[in-house]
């Protein structure tokens, strides 16, 4: 009986009784389990701890205020706290779930939208800063029920797998094509004193470098953008490009 109890409850003691000169699989497993328990302990404690109430007089609440956003040609009258990001305003308040949240810290481009013709990471900017601007999300790229040439090219070239990054890729590429048409240079443009004339694959890759695709559909994304560019006649008119904007992304 005592032996049974030892097996159930005193694994560490049993391990200690084993000669150090004879490392065993059992000792190794016990050590690993102990390390995992120690590593998990703070997390478990954090989960069960009651939230700490703010000290009297230090609670800071900022009341929501009216914010009107113009998105895809429609006006959205929202009540937002000043700290709400444009991404959260679009998804959680305006109900436009097409724009995706990936990293929420400006690193993946999943949240890319077009604001006054400039592509921006909507997770890095506050909604209140965009009142009065013309905002285009993926839901606004089609017009009258017809996909834009770029959207069609994405389908024809199989430029997505899971599709999570695709809204951001489409908004980014839509603005990219406008930027190129308006003569914006990139860091791979050979001579930035001259208007770039050829949207090479290198140009596309560089200009799309802010948009990550975890599925690795890059080759097809580049092919789709190239095809949309060569096909010309894009109706990607959502982008009213800021001519001074030469970067591939504005992280304002």
Closest distance between ligand FES and the C-beta of residue 215, in Å? 3
Strand 65-71 relative to strand 134-136: parallel, antiparallel, unpaired?
A: parallel
Token reading at 122: 């909507």
Closest distance between ligand FES and the C-beta of residue 229, in Å? 20
Report the distance separating Cα 160 and Cα 162, nearest Å. 6
Closest distance between ligand FES and the C-beta of residue 206, in Å? 18
125 or 189: whose CB is closer to ligand FES?
Answer: 125
The residues that touch ligand FES, with contacts defined as CB under 6 A, are 101-104, 106-111, 121, 123, 160-166, 213-215, 217
32 or 162: whose CB is closer to ligand FES?
Answer: 162
102 or 117: whose CB is closer to ligand FES?
Answer: 102
Closest distance between ligand FES and the C-beta of residue 98, in Å? 13
Closest distance between ligand FES and the C-beta of residue 218, in Å? 9
Write out 173-224 in H/E/C secondary structure.
HHHHHHHHHCCCCCCCCCCCCCCCCCCCHHHHHHHCCCCCCCCCCHHHHHHH
Contact residues for 228 (Cβ-Cβ < 8 A; gap 6+):
149, 150, 152, 153, 173, 177, 234, 236
State the greatest distance between any 2 C-alpha atoms of the chain, in Å, as a whole number.
88
196 or 249: whose CB is closer to ligand FES?
Answer: 249
Closest CA relative to residue 207, chosen from 109, 100, 105, 101: 109
117 or 210: whose CB is closer to ligand FES?
Answer: 210
């Amino acid at each position: 009986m005592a032996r049974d109890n030892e097996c159930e409850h005193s694994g560490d003691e049993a391990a200690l009784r084993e000669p150090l000169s004879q490392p065993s699989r059992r000792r190794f497993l016990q050590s690993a389990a102990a390390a995992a328990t120690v590593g998990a302990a703070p997390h478990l404690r954090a989960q069960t701890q009651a939230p700490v109430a703010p000290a009297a007089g230090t609670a800071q609440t900022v009341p929501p205020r009216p914010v009107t956003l113009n998105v895809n040609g429609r006006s959205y009258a929202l009540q937002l706290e000043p700290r709400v990001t444009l991404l959260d305003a679009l998804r959680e308040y305006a109900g436009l779930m097409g724009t995706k949240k990936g990293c929420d810290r400006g690193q993946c481009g999943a949240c890319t939208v077009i604001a006054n013709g400039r592509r921006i990471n909507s997770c890095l900017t506050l909604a209140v800063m965009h009142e009065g601007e013309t905002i285009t999300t993926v839901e606004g790229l089609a017009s009258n029920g017809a996909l834009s040439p770029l959207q069609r090219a994405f389908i024809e070239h199989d430029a997505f797998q899971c599709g999570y990054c695709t809204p951001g890729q489409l908004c980014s590429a839509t603005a990219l094509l406008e930027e190129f048409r308006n003569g914006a240079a990139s860091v791979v443009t050979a001579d930035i004193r001259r208007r770039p004339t050829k949207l090479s694959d290198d140009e596309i890759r560089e200009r799309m470098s802010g948009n990550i695709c975890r599925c690795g559909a890059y080759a097809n994304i580049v092919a789709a953008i190239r095809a949309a560019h060569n096909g010309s006649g894009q109706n990607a008119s959502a982008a009213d490009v800021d001519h001074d904007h030469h970067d591939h992304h504005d992280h304002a």
